[in-house]
Structure 1
């Protein structure tokens, strides 16, 4: 899988810092601009898998930038340009140390907690008598702390965030407002594609002049879960698993192979055949979410391509 990006080590003009996240690598230019490169790394249960997924970075970057452009009339974001299929360039921001998770349905982590008997998630009450994938009466916000590499994100309540001074009350109110606006718009966009936006996470930062903006990815299959709308009611009635568009298929494969990122567990072997099937699924996700045919970028010398495009933009 030599045509994938699993790590980068660029030295761009006026580069002042580099940060490596689970999937993205971020280069700071002149302490003013950020060059964000979406790699082909695959992360699940907060663990980065040993092999890259062809075209995954391009898919995530292109969905995220399309969705930012589709929502910028509601919520300002950090984005300036996308000079390469894997690259987004934007304003340098100081990130808030929380992820704003919003859930319209009892799925994923929330469903696992509910099954374990919990009825409060991040200080928010969940109604009795729900079954997995039921719709909440109204979407709930369940924030998480932002984990460093190799650590797990952890649930946190609004009250704890304010009590610990992680975010000020005024800023937190704005984060909640922006989260609901984005989720509402994302739900509308998904509906036009015959999809249901089930849950997602948003990350925000502050620009140098103190403006709160949306950063990182938005409405991608890595940060969001989608169901197919046409089969939702019927599958719910039968209490059968929903047909979904998200990274959940990777999580389920890992769970079935005895891996959930817990201590002492090892990542199961991923054959080239499995890796290519994951790539195909990501392409399917892209086409369903955007309604456009995916065009594979030239990956014959992917790192050179990125470097040339970024340097050309910075000049």
Structure 2
């Protein structure tokens, strides 16, 4: 992707500009755009507006941290790579003009639209709302039926019931995984807004940005400690001291979100009874790697080289890294039992079943002596 970044330095053209960001096309890379965050912060439909030096870079850092985290979890987004400190490269999308909002706690505009609901009411599951992006009419709330009746179409994709359900489910999922990420940092994610776009290939993906203007975050669940844009909205008077505090909050959020993607500590050791099972074991390792899990392949027969198997077990027990063994052995599978009987580490039997003998010999993997804690499964196709 280095070539994309190189092009962004000299060959870009602005195609859109909003209150807090600019979007550029990249010459000779029509499938990508460059998204640049500004130093501007706004509230109340831009009736309040201020410049904060460095805010664009801080917001971009948060967005990239969040998108990298969601991408690592397997979620499809428009994010491609970081650019300059206030820029990132994304897939070119036609944006769906809807803001999807997930709420765990009732606060803010929800209370105004739903009189009688007390602040702090908890939604289980998260409350999902959708708003049509229309500044002139203050982004009115829409029903799913209103979306369907507009017959939206973007890059050849018609927005029907399936697409509406997908956006709704993904909004819920994105909120839940970010809520857990924030919880590990001692903060409560109160609500979150996201947007979706359709790529030039007609794929619906998470798009736009997710930065500190996109959510409410309360450390220890205490609103008085809020780190998000609501601090700016609540200011009775905007002065230099308040803007400095706001910038410090944004910097803190950028720092915290950098911890969302944590280095993998655990690993899987795929131990084969024979090198002939290498292709099967490689599929297991590929699946682990797709989930960000370190996978290691080893070969040793429980029947022919038992001492070597015990040495391998000792090797991975001794360094303190959380480890799961996957035993890949077929006929007369004793490998999983040898590992489980000589190690406290979890063991999964994954015999490479063959139609010629599986019906009879699979029992060597699943019928085990009492006191052996191991499970059995098959990698499949």
TM-score, scaled to structure 1:
0.71
| Residue from 209, 220, 228 that aligns with 1:246 | 228
Q: What is the CA deviation profile of residues 254-276 of structure 1, one whole-angstrom value per residue up to 9, with x for unaligned ones?
A: xx35xxxxxxxxxxxx4333332
CA drift at 1:289: 4.2
CA drift at 1:13: 4.7
Q: What corresponds to 2:200 in structure 1?
A: 208
CA contact (8 A) 2:62 2:253 kept: no
| Residue from 118, 139, 159 that aligns with 2:145 | 159
- In structure 2, stretches of 5+ residues that fail to align are 1-7, 153-158, 261-381
Q: What is the CA deviation profile of residues 147-176 of structure 1, one whole-angstrom value per residue up to 9, with x for unaligned ones?
A: 35x763221121211122243222111111
CA contact (8 A) 1:102 1:179 kept: yes
Comparing 152-161 with 180-189, greater Cα deviation is found at: 152-161
How many residues matched? 244
CA contact (8 A) 1:41 1:49 kept: no
How far apart, in 2, do the equivalents of 1:64 and 1:250 lie?
Answer: 19
Q: What corresponds to 1:8 in structure 2?
A: none
RMSD: 2.3
Q: What corresponds to 1:110 in structure 2?
A: 110
How far apart, in 1, do the equivalents of 2:241 and 2:53 lie?
Answer: 12
CA drift at 1:62: 0.8
How far apart, in 1, do the equivalents of 2:108 and 2:52 lie?
Answer: 23
How far apart, in 1, do the equivalents of 2:134 and 2:123 lie?
Answer: 27
- In structure 1, stretches of 5+ residues that fail to align are 1-10, 118-129, 233-240, 258-269, 293-315
Relative to structure 1, the CA distance from residue 251 to residue 18 in structure 2 (aligned partners, 3 Å threshold; closer, same or farther) is: same
Q: From the CA coordinates, give the structure whose radius of gyration is larger.
A: 2
CA drift at 1:86: 0.5
Classify the secondary structure of the residue corresponding to 1:71. helix
Q: What corresponds to 1:274 in structure 2?
A: 242
Classify the secondary structure of the residue corresponding to 1:197. strand
Comparing 91-100 with 105-114, greater Cα deviation is found at: 105-114
CA contact (8 A) 2:102 2:191 kept: yes
CA drift at 1:28: 1.5
1:283 aligns with 2:275: no
Classify the secondary structure of the residue corresponding to 1:42. strand
Q: What corresponds to 2:40 in structure 1?
A: 41
Relative to structure 1, the CA distance from residue 105 to residue 59 in structure 2 (aligned partners, 3 Å threshold; closer, same or farther) is: same
1:131 aligns with 2:136: no
Higher relative contact order (CA 8 A, sep 6+): 1
How far apart, in 2, do the equivalents of 1:12 and 1:64 lie?
Answer: 20
How far apart, in 1, do the equivalents of 2:190 and 2:43 lie?
Answer: 18
State how 1:129-208 maps to structure 2 within 5 Å: 130-147=117-134, 152-166=138-152, 167-208=159-200
CA contact (8 A) 1:54 1:276 kept: no
CA contact (8 A) 1:38 1:60 kept: yes
1:91 aligns with 2:91: yes
CA drift at 1:179: 1.1
How far apart, in 1, do the equivalents of 2:256 and 2:11 lie?
Answer: 39
Relative to structure 1, the CA distance from residue 276 to residue 242 in structure 2 (aligned partners, 3 Å threshold; closer, same or farther) is: closer
